Amino acid sequence: MKKILIVDNDKTTVDTISKMILTSEEYGVIKTIGAKQVISEIKKTKPDLFMIDIMMPGIDGITLSERLYNNKSTKNIPILIFSALNMEAIISESQIRKRLPNIKGFLEKPFTIRVLIKKIDSIIK
């Protein structure tokens, strides 16, 4: 079973997304609250996909994505970015993809289970 590591500073959001993913019965979930917890989690288990919120205090989602891309053990693990903000308002998708080729998709919150699973499937199947 492929594992998805969810990163957000809000526990409720992490729990909600986790439940959405688990309804598909095709993926396992690793929950992390904030970017700092990611480092300890990837030492224990290697996910097949990172799902990262952009807007987090301290280490934001783009900075975390850069760190994962610059780490040999996580460089090739795809990333799905999500945010409540309009993505184009933050940075253009093409700019991010040029800078961080490990980012394979973007989702704007709120999203449905169907949209989420379809996006995950397109990235890791």
Q: What is the pLDDT of residues 8-63, one digit of tens each?
A: 999 999 999 999 999 999 999 999 999 989 988 988 999 999 999 998 999 999 89
Tell me the residue range of the domain where 98 lies: 2-124
Mind giving me the DSSP string for 26-69? Answer: SEEEEEEESTHHHHHHHHH---SEEEEES--SSS-HHHHHHHHH
Report the pLDDT value the prediction gives residue 77, as an integer from 0 to 100: 97
What's the total number of domains in the chain?
Answer: 1
Give the DSSP H or E segment for 85.
none
CA distance 82 to 111: 9
- Global pTM value: 0.91
Give the DSSP H or E segment for 104.
strand 103-108
CA distance 122 to 125: 6
- Which residues, listed in sequence order, are joined to residue 2 by a DSSP beta bridge? 27
Report the pLDDT value the prediction gives residue 100, as an integer from 0 to 100: 82
Taking the CB of residue 114, how many other CB atoms lie within 10 A of it? 10
C-alpha separations of 120 from 27, 35, 101, 110 in Å: 10, 20, 16, 16
CA distance 102 to 121: 16
CATH number of 66's domain: 3.40.50.2300
Q: What is the pLDDT of residues 66-108, one digit of tens each?
A: 999 999 999 999 999 999 877 665 565 566 666 788 999 999 9
C-alpha separations of 65 from 1, 22, 24, 115 in Å: 23, 24, 26, 22
Report the pLDDT value the prediction gives residue 40, as an integer from 0 to 100: 86
